[in-house]
Chains A and B, each alone.
Chain A
Amino acid sequence: MEWLLQEKHRSVRQSVRRFCDRELRPIAANIDQEGRFPWGVAEKMGGLGYFGIQVPKSLGGAGLDSLSYAIVIEEISRVSAAIGLCVTVHNSVAVYPILSFGNQEQIEKWIPPLARGEKIGAFCLTEPNAGSDAGGIEATALADGNDYIVNANKVFVTNGGIADICLIFCRTDPSAGRRGISVVVAERGTDGFVVGDLEDLCGMRANPVCSIRLYDCRIPSSNLLSKEGMGLRIGLAALDTGRMGIAAQAVGTAQAALEEAVLYAKQRHQFGVAIGKHQSIQTMIADMATQLDAARLMVYRAAALKDKKLPFSKESAMAKLFASEMATRVTDLAVQIHGGYGYSKAYAVERYYRDARVTRIYEGTSEVHRMVIAKSVLEG
């Protein structure tokens, strides 16, 4: 696949890898166990442009392409999937929709601090009773003079505990069904904006995933993104890009698991030889490497299509579906190769296994992705 990549992409990979190996690797296991967000590293990432990867330079971003974006997410996730998650969600489903659907005033107000990582973004769609069925959300934003009065109970908000700028999906016209859904930008600190407790999750523990609740929160109507009723369109556009990031994240986690498995297969001796000499281990390694390679190609293809401004929605859905399922298989095999040690927190593969699992669930479950892909295939 190297023919897909240019020198620039290799340089992006090399520099992000060097940074993450030096700054993030030494603390990756601890921040997972302590459920702690590493502010120090995040600030450095902000200075290097990781929070505005595709934002134009004129707005304080790095001005890179989608392939570079996928590589950055892959490399951060190779070291810490939870921080890869923070960066991809911020870039793809917070920054991107503001950039694409915001007006000039909104872009100039919110994008520069987001792009520099001085403010963190979050995407607030999921509710206790609305997950895969995004049209079923209950949050409301009712007009009151020049404001909206917003009431919302958003759960499983990635970056929720640290987010300053939140895209709230809510009903501006409760009688209009799916067409009544809009996106209102809520800023932390507004009266009635409440950050809930951190979720105690299986993986991605260094990401402050939590609920965000808005109680009679008065938000100026100038914070409406695009027009009323555009909510689901904005959400779907954001998720097309977002799922590419999640796929890249799954690739990074699987890459880390494969590297650990290969290292262990060479070191660990049983029956008088390194276990990598046993055919059963070789079969696992071969399957892991092949599936990982296929997933990576799919992610890069989706990114390359987007860079060429060609349709990439189906390809990005396929990449997300395949990469997330691949990552759970590959991390599972990495645990298997490690035997009992793979089930211990003393070895990194235990964390990779936990982190990989959610990639099949968030930003669209595997099941929803199959629906999207099938629709696209059947309806041509």
Chain B
Amino acid sequence: MEAGALHIVVCIKSVITQAPKGKIIRTAENSMLNPFDRPAIEVALRLKRANGGSITVLSMGPPAAEAALREALAVGADRGVLLCDPALAGADTLATSNALSAAAKALMPYDLMLFGTRTSDSDTGQVGPQTAVLLDLPMITGINKLTVKTEHLLVEREVDGFLEIYEISLPAALTIHPKAATPRDPSLEGIAAAFDEMTVDLIGIEQLEIEPEKTGKAGSPTRVLSMKPVQKDRSCDWIEGTPVEQADALVRRLVNEGLIG
């Protein structure tokens, strides 16, 4: 393999697009590739274009999640792997991370694991960091720039108005901030290839080294007890005075409430 050519595993999720009413049944109709994973895929594609290497996209989910993997294939990922097993149903973030880390071990050797920062449906941001811990990989979160060096990466993250630059040795895991890269659109040719010509590898838990009690509902120490939409109260305050006074008062209020800087 040429210098800097990495095997990158991008973990993605097929998310629910509509707010659930009652029990969630995931179908192709109400699922899509998590929008926060698309920048992570894009970063992987750019690294591959610059340095060579290969990209595997990995997801745990029901059969409907296959379409999300194919969408990643459509933009240029080389291989899609779906970890799909009824025993994985009802997993919380820890059980999901257990399963993903077991699947990642089956994909070794890899140099880099990428995740989105969060998902648009459950929004915990936990799976990336937990999986990195379980795989004993160094992890930095919220990356918006990265450069490949010989044995390590230089990565940048912005937090609280500061720019942090890190060096991280490989193999490593990162969560990718949406600012890192604007994801490309799949071409129609890419979609045709992904669906007509490429395959997604389906694996079940019997193919992995994992204790069944650590996955699915059985392996989930947390449980969602209820979920309902939050009713937001709206109110309207009138600001009196001349237009100039009104504008000043409005700006003062927005500043005081921290809405503008």
Give chain B interface residues in 196-222, CB to chain A under 8 Å.
196
Given A62-B192, A63-B192: A11 and B74 interface contact (C-beta under 8 Å) = yes
List, in ascending order, chain B residues with CB within 8 A of A14's CB.
32, 71
Q: Footprint of A on B, CB under 8 Å?
A: 28-29, 32, 66-67, 70-71, 74, 185-189, 191-196
Provide 12 A-B residue pairs closer than 8 Å at the C-beta atoms, listed in order of the A residue: A7-B66, A7-B195, A8-B191, A11-B70, A11-B71, A11-B191, A12-B188, A15-B186, A15-B191, A49-B188, A62-B189, A64-B188
Which residue, A6, A11, A18, A63, has most C-beta atoms of chain B within 10 A?
A: A11
Do B185 and A18 touch across chains, with their CB atoms under 8 A apart?
yes
The verdict on A19 contacting chain B, using a C-beta distance below 8 Å, is: yes
Of the candidates A11, A47, A53, A57, the one whose C-beta lies within 8 Å of that of B67 is A11
Q: Are B189 and A49 in contact (CB under 8 A)?
A: yes
Contacts beyond the supplied A53-B188, A62-B191: 17 A-B pairs with Cβ under 8 Å = A7-B70, A10-B28, A10-B67, A11-B70, A11-B186, A11-B191, A11-B195, A12-B191, A15-B186, A18-B185, A48-B186, A49-B188, A49-B189, A62-B189, A62-B192, A64-B188, A68-B188
B29 adjacent to A62 (CB under 8 Å): no
- With A8-B195, A11-B71 already in contact, the answer to whether A61 and B187 are too (CB < 8 A) is no
Q: Given A2-B29, A7-B28, A11-B70, verify A48-B185 contact (CB < 8 Å).
A: yes
Q: Contact residue range for chain A?
A: 20 to 34
Q: Which residue of B lies closest to A10 (CB)?
A: B28
User: B160 to nearest A CB, angstroms?
Assistant: 30
User: How many angstroms from the CA of A12 to the CA of B196 in the assembled complex?
Assistant: 13
Distance in angstroms between the alpha carbons of A341 and B67 in the assembled complex: 41
Question: Provided the pairs A10-B67, A15-B185 are in contact, do residues A57 and B192 lie with their beta carbons within 8 angstroms?
Answer: yes
Complex interface bits, A204-245 against B, C-beta within 8 A gives 1, otherwise 0: 000000000000000000000000000000000000000000
Minimum Cβ distance to chain B for residue A68 (Å)? 7
> Using Cβ atoms and an 8 Å threshold, which residues of chain B touch A68?
188, 192
A72 at the interface (CB under 8 A from B): yes
- Whether B28 and A64, one on each chain, are in contact in the complex, defined by CB atoms closer than 8 angstroms, is no
Q: Which residues of B contact A49 (CB under 8 A)?
A: 187-189
Closest residue to A18 on the B side, CB-wise?
Answer: B185
A18 CB to nearest chain B CB (Å): 7
Question: Complex Cα distance A8/B198, Å?
Answer: 12
State the Cβ distance, A45 to closest chain B Cβ, in Å: 10
Fill in one digit per residue for A50-71: 1 if any B CB lies within 8 Å of its CB, else 0: 1001000100011110001000
Contact of A48 with B67 in the complex, beta carbons under 8 Å? no
Q: Chain B: which residue is nearest A63 at the CB level?
A: B192
Please name all residues of chain A whose beta carbon is closer than 8 Å to the beta carbon of B191 when the two chains form the complex.
8, 11-12, 15, 62, 64
Given known pairs A11-B70, A11-B71, the reply for A6 and B195 (CB within 8 Å) is yes
Selected contact of A62 from candidates B32, B185, B188, CB within 8 Å: B188
Query: With A and B bound together, what is the CA distance between A10 and B192 in angstroms?
Result: 12
CB distance from A67 to the nearest CB of B (A): 12
